C-alpha cells in the first residue's frame, strides 16, 4: 500500500476507535472518512457496539448501508456526538479547506451541529498557509454574478466539470460547484465570510469556525499524530 494511502487508513482507523458505544456520528465524504467507516463496521460486528451515522452525501449513505452501519438524520438527532471527516488542507490553527467531493454544504451543516469534529488526514494535507482551490456551492441561477463577484475578491473561479459525464458537477443539493483559486489565503476567516455573504452562494469549503472542537488525526509512518483544539478534550 502506498504510504499516503496507508496514512489515510491508519488515521481513519484511529478515528473510528475514538467512537464509544451509543454515539451518534456524522459520517464525512471521501476516501479517508471511508476508512473510518470500514473500521467502524468491524467494531459493530465484532464488539457489538451500537452507533448510528448521519451521512453527508448520497455516496456516504450508500457505503454505510453496504457496511451495515445504521443511519439516522439530523431531524432525529440534531446534536451528534462527533463527526468524522477528511480535509483537503489543514493549517496550524486547524482551519480547513474541504469540498473536493462536492459535499461541503452537508459536511459543514454536520460539523456545525456536532459536539466534536474529528478530521483525519495524511501528512500531505498539512500546510502552513491555506492555498488550495476553495470549492463554492452556488445555485445555478446565480452562477454568473457569483463568478463576477469572486473575481472582485481576486479569485479565479472555474465551474467544476464532471469526469464521467458532460457538463458541470451537480451536488446532492442540485447546485453547481465553483473551484476558486486565490493563491495563499492570509485571512481565511474573512474570505469565508465574504464568500458565504454573496447572494446565490450556499456554502464555501473554508471551515474556520470549528477550530476549538476539532481533533486532527494525522497518519504517519510510526503511528498517528493527534492535535487537539481547545474544546476537543472530552471525546
Residue 95 lies in a domain: yes
Q: What is the rounded CA–CA span in Å between residue 194 and residue 32?
A: 29
Q: In the chain, how many domains are there?
A: 2
Give yes or no: residues 161 and 197 share one domain: yes
Residue 148 scores a pLDDT above 70: yes
Q: Report d(CA 74, CA 60) in Å as an integer.
A: 15
Q: What is the pLDDT of residue 1?
A: 55
Tell how strand 223-228 and strand 89-90 pair up. Answer: unpaired
**Residues 40 and 140 occupy one common structural domain:** no
- What is the reported pTM? 0.94
Q: Nearest CA to 120 among 16, 3, 229?
A: 16
Supply the DSSP symbol for 229: -
107 carries an active-site annotation: yes
- 20 located within any domain: yes
Which entry of 46, 107, 184, 193 is annotated as an active-site residue?
Answer: 107
- pLDDT digits 0-9 by tens, 87-127: 999 999 999 999 999 999 999 999 999 999 999 999 999 99
CATH no. for residue 142? 3.30.70.260
Contact in structure between 93 and 186 (CB atoms under 8 Å)? no
Query: Residue 219 — φ and ψ, nearest 5°?
Result: -75, 125
CB 117 within 8 A of CB 213: yes
∠ CA 163-169-174 to the nearest 5 degrees? 150
Percentage of the residues of the chain whose pLDDT score is greater than 90: 88
Domain limits at 100?
Answer: 3-124+208-228
Q: Which residue has the cell 446532492?
A: 172
233 found inside a domain: no
Note the helical H segments in 53-98: 58-66
Mean pLDDT of the 45-73 span = 98
108 inside domain? yes
The lowest-confidence range among 92-96, 137-141, 162-166 is 162-166
Calculate Rg over the CA atoms of the chain: 17
- Whether 77 and 180 map to the same domain: the answer is no
CB 188 within 8 A of CB 198: no
Rounded distance between C-alpha atoms, residue 222 and residue 207, angstroms: 29
Q: Side by side, which strands form the sheet with 96-97?
A: 89-90, 96-97, 206-207
- Grade residue 21 by pLDDT with cuts at 50, 70 and 90: very high
Q: SS3 of 54, please?
A: strand
Amino acid at each position: 500500500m502506498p504510504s499516503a494511502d496507508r496514512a489515510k487508513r491508519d488515521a481513519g482507523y484511529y478515528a473510528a476507535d475514538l467512537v464509544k458505544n451509543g454515539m451518534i456520528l456524522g459520517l464525512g465524504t471521501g476516501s479517508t472518512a471511508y476508512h473510518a467507516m470500514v473500521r467502524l463496521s468491524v467494531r459493530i460486528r465484532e464488539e457489538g457496539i451500537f452507533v448510528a451515522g448521519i451521512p453527508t452525501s448520497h455516496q456516504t449513505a450508500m457505503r454505510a448501508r453496504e457496511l451495515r452501519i445504521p443511519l439516522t438524520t439530523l431531524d432525529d438527532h440534531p446534536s451528534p456526538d462527533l463527526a468524522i471527516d477528511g480535509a483537503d488542507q489543514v493549517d496550524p490553527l486547524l482551519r480547513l479547506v474541504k469540498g473536493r467531493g462536492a459535499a461541503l454544504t452537508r459536511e459543514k451543516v454536520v460539523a456545525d451541529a456536532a459536539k466534536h469534529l474529528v478530521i483525519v488526514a495524511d501528512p500531505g494535507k498539512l500546510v502552513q498557509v491555506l492555498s488550495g482551490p476553495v470549492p463554492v456551492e452556488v445555485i445555478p441561477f446565480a452562477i454568473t454574478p457569483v463568478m463576477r463577484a469572486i473575481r472582485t475578491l481576486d479569485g479565479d473561479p472555474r465551474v467544476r466539470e464532471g469526469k464521467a459525464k458532460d457538463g458541470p458537477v451537480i451536488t446532492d443539493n442540485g447546485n453547481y460547484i465553483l473551484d476558486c483559486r486565490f493563491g495563499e489565503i492570509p485571512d481565511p476567516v474573512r474570505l469565508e465570510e465574504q464568500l458565504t455573504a454573496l447572494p446565490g452562494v450556499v456554502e464555501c469549503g473554508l471551515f474556520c469556525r470549528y477550530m476549538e472542537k476539532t481533533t486532527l488525526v494525522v497518519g504517519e509512518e510510526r503511528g498517528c499524530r493527534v492535535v487537539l483544539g481547545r474544546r476537543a478534550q472530552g471525546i
